[in-house]
Amino acid sequence: MITEEFSVARRLAELPPYLFVEIDRKRREAAARGIDIISLSIGDPDIPTPAPIIRALARAARDPVNHRYPESEGLDRFRQAVADWYRRRFGVDLDPQREVLTLIGAKEGIGHLPLALVDPGDVVLIPDPAYPVYRAGTIFAGGQPYEMPLLRENQFLPDLEAIPESVRQRARLMFINYPNNPTGAVAPIEFYREVVDFARRHNIIVAQDNTYSEISFDGYHPPSFLEAPGAKEVGIEFHSLSKTFNMTGWRIAFAVGRAEVIEALRKIKSNLDSGAFQAVQEAGITALSMAEQISARNSNVYQRRRDVLVRGLRAIGLTVDVPRATFYVWPRVPAGYDSAGFVSTLIERAGIVCTPGNGFGKQGEGYVRFALTAETKRLREAISRLSTALA
């Protein structure tokens, strides 16, 4: 019989508690006390998946050919649909056989990428604040995260020239993410040109997370990293159907770009998962064929919500920029609060759940993130409650 004390791998000790698990625990506790919760924390669209996509899934799910193991790289038809959409949307040409890879959600691909590229001790350049999976994937691969501060005075873009030469020499991979989660910031194509030049000079692979490119406002259309000259030579881009098509639970996404990086990620996936359900990929083909109309419709909904929330937050004295993309709003907390304390106050006094900025990195301290995943009526109610709580 084993009598020694049970222990887990040391790498787990390096991980902070997964942000949204802790937030959900607090939400459940408040709801158990009878508080009416307005949840604006997790970026999970409240808008249903469009009906044609659901019908496509139903048809494909009845086909026995889709009941067996899928190919790890994804259906040829789905990868062709991705290439067709990239050409329409961004003017970027992709070889669907070598430069497109189907993923079981962008989170899966992002988390697996360091296993394909990073050896123990290699440095990975990570934005701060950032989506927590960039750091988690790096730690699982034995890499060393190096945080690139995203500061409001620099439009939440990293200062690449501020990275020390000793770090650049050890860096193997750089994550960037625009439109940005959590700040809502966007990046011009000129920034992507700088990234390409930096990556070439220092032999660094770039991984751009473009998950939010299809939620944008005021006539703005975010570019792809791959539009920058030479970008496909130095990196890849992730995209997901989750936010664009309200398909978070469907787990379907893709990576595109440099063929050698795509192949390395495919090798990791072929050893660790069995690919995305083919019926979901068939539904994804339908989704991509409707991308323009769905994106426009969703963006209109989120823009109305953005305007309600930003006006309300400003009216009660919070400092907040107007995001041009994503469905996130990133205000500074009021004087006298830190991020976690403000979130706790909102849950306890107002039944509002948002996300503390420090959960995305130390540079997120002093901010909170609101997700525009509630109807305008509930957002107005949230502002009313927030005003009362702060008073």
Q: What is the pLDDT of residues 106-127, one digit of tens each?
A: 999 999 999 999 999 999 999 9
Chain region(s) in the chain for CATH 3.90.1150.10 = 10-48+293-390
Structure tokens at 191: 């920034």
The Cα 99–Cα 260 span in angstroms is: 8
pLDDT at position 7 is: 82
Q: What's the chain's average pLDDT? A: 95
The Cα 385–Cα 382 span in angstroms is: 5
Beta-carbon contacts of 307 under 8 Å, excluding residues fewer than 6 positions away, are: none
Compute the radius of gyration of the chain from its Cα atoms: 21
Structure tokens at 220: 């703005």
Confidence of residue 18 (pLDDT cuts 50, 70, 90): low
The Cα 296–Cα 292 span in angstroms is: 6
Decide if 195 contacts 201 (C-beta within 8 A). Answer: no
pLDDT at position 171 is: 98
The Cα 191–Cα 379 span in angstroms is: 34
The Cα 320–Cα 131 span in angstroms is: 20
CATH number belonging to domain 10-48+293-390 = 3.90.1150.10
Is the pLDDT at 52 greater than 80? The verdict is yes
Which among 319, 349, 314, 348 is positioned nearest to 333, based on CA atoms? Answer: 319
Structure tokens at 63: 């086909």
Beta-bridged to residue 207, according to DSSP, are: 175, 236
Region 159-177: mean pLDDT is 98
Looking at residue 99, the DSSP 8-state letter turns out to be: S
Measure Cα distances from 379 to 297, 311, 328, 340, 355 in Å. Answer: 19, 11, 13, 21, 16
Q: Which of 23-32, 52-61, 229-238 has the lowest mean pLDDT?
A: 23-32
pLDDT at position 281 is: 98
The Cα 139–Cα 237 span in angstroms is: 21
Is the pLDDT at 382 greater than 90? The verdict is yes
Structure tokens at 46: 């409240």
Distance of CA 179 to the CA centre of its chain: 9
The Cα 130–Cα 139 span in angstroms is: 15
pLDDT at position 27 is: 79
Helix 106-117 to helix 259-272 angle (10° resolution) is 100
Beta-carbon contacts of 265 under 8 Å, excluding residues fewer than 6 positions away, are: 101, 109, 112, 113, 116, 236, 255
Strands of the chain, DSSP E: 38-39, 100-103, 123-128, 144-149, 171-176, 205-209, 235-240, 253-257, 328-329, 352-353, 355-356, 368-371
Chain region(s) in the chain for CATH 3.40.640.10 = 51-291
Is the pLDDT at 32 greater than 90? The verdict is no
Confidence of residue 26 (pLDDT cuts 50, 70, 90): confident
pLDDT at position 19 is: 63
In the CATH hierarchy, which fold is given to the domain comprising 51-291? Answer: Aspartate Aminotransferase; domain 2 (3.40.640)
